[in-house]
Amino acid sequence: MKKLIFLSGSVSAICISAGFFLKVLHWPVSQTFLSMGLMILLLVFVPLTWFYYSESNITRMASEKFRFALGMTCAILIGIGWVLKVCHLPGGDMILVTGGIILSFGFIPMVIYRMYKNEVGL
């Protein structure tokens, strides 16, 4: 599992870096590399990382697992929405807004509450 996580992360990082480099040079394949790298990152690396950390004993409490899952869901939605917007494909606006709403009204308040709870010592 870890090898697949490292492999997918490495491949996506290489594709994204190559895509940005080729984008600077205005080569036509830059969009392909950039999209492929971001899709590997969002559809392979992030879910595998999510599954690995949710199955391990790193996060034991249910609230921490839910917060982690909510954060990963936001990351996936915002990332896919961004890719769709960059590629000028339909649906990018709605996915991006949905990810932003979940981030603004779900994940960030949970993180702030947890920080407050740890600071006060409840």
Domain membership of residue 94 as a residue range: 61-122
Per-10-residue mean pLDDT, the chain, length 122 = 89 90 88 88 87 72 82 88 84 91 90 85 65
DSSP secondary structure letters along 71-117: HHHHHHHHHHHHHHHHTT-TTHHHHHHHHHHHIIIIIHHHHHHHHHH
Q: How confident is the model at residue 120, as a pLDDT?
A: 80
Same domain, 76 and 45: no
pTM: 0.70
Same domain, 92 and 38: no
Q: How confident is the model at residue 30, as a pLDDT?
A: 87
Same domain, 18 and 54: yes
Same domain, 11 and 22: yes
